[in-house]
Chains A and B, each alone.
Chain A
Amino acid sequence: QKEVEQDPGPLSVPEGAIVSLNCTYSNSAFQYFMWYRQYSRKGPELLMYTYSSGNKEDGRFTAQVDKSSKYISLFIRDSQPSDSATYLCAMKVTGGGNKLTFGTGTQLKVEL
Chain B
Amino acid sequence: DTAVSQTPKYLVTQMGNDKSIKCEQNLGHDTMYWYKQDSKKFLKIMFSYNNKELIINETVPNRFSPKSPDKAHLNLHINSLELGDSAVYFCASSNTGGNQPQHFGDGTRLSIL
A residues in contact (CB < 8 Å) with B: 8, 31-32, 34, 36, 38, 41-46, 49, 51, 86, 88, 92, 94-95, 97-102, 104-105, 107
Q: Is the interface on chain B under 10, 10 to 19, 20 to 34, or 35 or more residues? A: 20 to 34
Smallest CB-CB separation from B40: which chain A residue?
Answer: A104
- Once the chains bind, are B45 and A99 in contact (CB under 8 Å)? yes
Chain A positions within 8 Å of B94 at CB level: 98
Contact A104 B98 (CB under 8 A): no
Chain B residue at minimum C-beta to C-beta distance from A88: B43
Contact status of A32 and B98, CB under 8 A, knowing A43-B90, A98-B31, A104-B40: yes
CB closest residue in chain A, given B45: A99
10 closest Cβ pairs, A-B complex: A43-B104, A97-B55, A102-B43, A105-B41, A97-B56, A43-B106, A46-B101, A44-B104, A104-B42, A43-B105
Across the interface, which residues of B come within 8 angstroms of A88, CB to CB? 41, 43
Distance A88 CA – B35 CA, assembled complex (angstroms): 14
Closest chain A residue to B56, Cβ basis: A97
Q: Which of B56, B98, B107 contacts A43 (CB 8 A)?
A: B107
Let me know if B104 and A102 touch, CB within 8 A.
no
A100 touches B45 (CB 8 A): yes
